[in-house]
Amino acid sequence: MLRTGKKFFYILWGVLLIYLFYRYVKNPELFSVTYIKDFISSYKGQIMTVYIILSSVRGFFLIPSTPFVITGVLLFPDKLFLVLLISMFGIMLSATSLYYFADILGFSEHLEKKYPNKVKKWESKLQSSKATFLVLGWSFFPFVPTDIICYVAGIIKMPFKYMFTGVFLGELILVSLYVYSGSFLNLY
């Protein structure tokens, strides 16, 4: 049953990507800034709800949070603290899900067979008392996906509280910088 669920997920993901690519090739204007802006404006009353939903589910598709944070700043320049809260909720939901579902996604056995030395190295690093700081640094660094460290932490069974605390603090600093420095974008 687990394999059937994984196959279904991969097929659904592939179909979605193919569909989006098809739509882009068929009508690239749908992905233009002007079209997206007009589309969003037409749903002004529901946009906050849509933003919350998208920020909450984006992690399940391994989509980075940065574009969503910046979009929130641009859409809601008078609600920056709310954008910060929504962004952090989505990030932590994603981090927790990846941590707990790492084995279900099925890569743990593959990684342990293919890279046994690297897995053991990461296991010793992420089981140490300094693991929270390693995760914090990883989460704060904007050029590496936080999802990877959450996934690895779940595979090697790092204590959840270390992973959660590190991701929360690192992302809180980074997202705060995005939100409050991104607010200057609305001045121009």
pLDDT digits (tens, 9 = 90+) for 43-73: 777 888 989 998 998 887 778 888 899 889 8
pLDDT of residue 188: 42
pLDDT of residue 120: 75
Cα–Cα dist 151/187, whole Å: 38
Cα–Cα dist 68/74, whole Å: 10
pLDDT of residue 41: 74
Q: Report which of residues 123 and 131 the model is more confident about.
A: 131
Cα–Cα dist 69/81, whole Å: 11
Mean pLDDT of the chain: 82
Cα–Cα dist 149/27, whole Å: 37
The three-point CA angle 45-52-163 to 5° equals 170
Q: Give the pLDDT mean for 138-157.
A: 81
pLDDT of residue 16: 82
pLDDT score of 88 more than 90: yes
pLDDT of residue 110: 66
Instruction: DSSP letter for 43, please.
Output: T
pLDDT score of 185 more than 80: no
